[in-house]
Structure 1
């Protein structure tokens, strides 16, 4: 969070704090995300949601390039997680791309519900 003073509450959906939290089989799939995948995603919920709200729906391929570049890079924000002072709600699904133990560790780093 670049400006934590501007955030009263934070909801994070299907979000991890480090790349090692993904299931191993997700990493090769993430490496393939790029603008080249855009034509194949026209019938996906992600594409339909994007074009419903995006001011420039034709930028969807650019979004995929940006997401792909982000997902190909290693990252670990574990040192920053405890600095989040606002209430944080973590939301995961039972078929999420993050390992349950990663989700639990994230919850614990936020104070384990004790804030």
Structure 2
């Protein structure tokens, strides 16, 4: 009986795959009409100007410094503005996102909601 139990346990452990070295991060912005979104996932600030709702997904692998230190911040800031003319060239950055109605946002890590808000959502990966 002990041998069978030990063999079953060993088979179960051997069949497990190692955890991935990345985290799957999704930022979502709700709302209606058009919107401005600025966000930081893995690197520089990015922008989106277009239809809402909107989302973006990225695999993020933490550096050793981020694992041992302050972590890695994920940030999204969003407004909805139904009157936006998407055909007109517009410069978009985190300052221009202040002009409009805050849009609902949330951040998910590996499918689990970790931050939710209106206008701004921030979460630090560890």
Query: Under a length normalisation based on structure 1, what TM-score does the superposition of the two structures give?
Result: 0.23
Larger radius of gyration: 2
**Higher helix fraction: Structure 1 or Structure 2?**
1
**Higher strand fraction: Structure 1 or Structure 2?**
2
Greater RCO structure (CA 8 Å; 6+ sep):
1
